[in-house]
A and B are shown apart, each in its own frame.
Chain A
Amino acid sequence: MASGIKDKVAILGMGCSKFGERWDTSPDDLMVEAYIEALDDAGIEPNQLDAAWFSHHIDDIGAGKGGTPMSIALRLPNISVTRVENYCASGSEAFRGAVYAVAAGAADIAIALGMEKLKDTGYGGLPATNYGTFGPQIGPSGSAPGNFAQLASAYRAKHGVSAEDMKRAIAHVSVKSHANGAKNPKAHLQKEVTEEQVLNAPMIAEPLGLFDCCGVSDGAAAAIVTTPEIAKSLGKDNLISVKALQLSVSNGLESHHNTWDGSYFHTVRIAAKKAYAEAGITKPREEVSMMEVHDCFSVTELVTMEDLFISEEGQAVKDVMDGFYDADGPVPCQIDGGLKCFGHPIGASGLRMLYEMYLQLQGRADKRQLKNPSIGLTHNLGGQPANNVCSVAIIGSL
């Protein structure tokens, strides 16, 4: 069996732009904003970068295809730039590429940068995804909320949860994230909301109302990685290292075979098991200090709590209502506001999650700072419940 990535690579520096409706900011400007912060944090010059990974999902309204948009925006020194795209998990893919390059010894220092410019569409929500020439001839012309909302119907049927109890539990997920986002100056949405507001919001896709859906934002985030040895040689201490990086991708079982019941993420369970094994975690509910999960919709976060083996199967509703994942709970989730409130510039989101875990682990999270976290988990999901890619990453103090 492969030895895994644990402690082979350290984060040298990170940066994250302000997320939100950045009407006056171009895709290039967003990249520069995250890049400058990451470079300053790492304390290096551009010519010390050996390789770059660029994650960007929707090229037709963003920066375009290929690696050139990043190279040109940042005037990189003609190093390799690999554009990666893996739905909403693209940011984690960029990070994986950079980390693997360093671990392999192909690069001493590598950068991963994700960016998305979503607010040039002319309307709210995500634009329709292009899924080839066959898919649109049979698949519904649906939307992300419509796809993820289906988790609720299947979960309720499986676990016997009433529509009202489900609606209230997912409302609590959003109320908690808004409370956290209100403490984050870089978040897209920085206002607290009440449970009543969430319950009474306009319906988007049953049972998801407006406040069950994450922000659609412009933004960029970046990570510069190297080996622990080089990091130390550059004078860094308080190192944060990569403990696990796993990616699981649907092979059509969920969407084509009747064994999947629609109430959970098959890939998340696989990626989580592998990540815990890689990081040496045996009791995740006790060992994971905090999490940033892919809360594109409130119901996604709720079922993910079980798929990451933090809540027992069928117990997520209870744990959520008990405040287990609140800022003052045993495993705070979305302490930066999550996709819900920090926002979801697709290509940047996986890196934004890591950014918050990194700040928390270094004790630099300001008003949101948790007490002595040691292990941070990020869960970054792309696609839809029946057909998706799932990244689970774990970072912690070296």
Chain B
Amino acid sequence: MSGYLSEILSGSKSLAVGMGITLREFFTPKVTLRYPHESVKMTARYRGHIELIEDENGEPNCVACGMCQRACPSGCITLASRTVEIEVDGKTKKKKELTQYDLNFTTCSLCGSCVESCSFNGITFSKEYNLASTRKEDFHFDLLKRLKERNS
């Protein structure tokens, strides 16, 4: 009987202690943001979908070597190129030029293997995270077009 009573006492005390903790929470500062009006800034290393990097002339750094395409586990990247002849110091040189860079973001798992495999500083992560659409086609990005739009 005494065990029963002491359990009631200690049990009630444990409940009161818990209530005290939740009561204290009323007076602590808020930790949440009112999202659509405020939002958190993405960190410098945040991995969004990829984006082409441009050189000083506004042309992509990419030399169409295709390493990113091969590194991608899900095969999201498709790129095409053509060979052009350019003149450097009076000599004609053959150079690959990027004509198409498609990212199929629907299957991308944001692992970052493509950026890591690139040795020409051609691609980087964007900081975009508010991507939502009801149409699949909205996630097939033409990165070359995006680059041009950014420059215009």
Report whether chain A binds chain B.
no
Task: Give the A-binding residues of B (Cβ under 8 A).
Answer: none
Task: Give the B-binding residues of A (Cβ under 8 A).
Answer: none
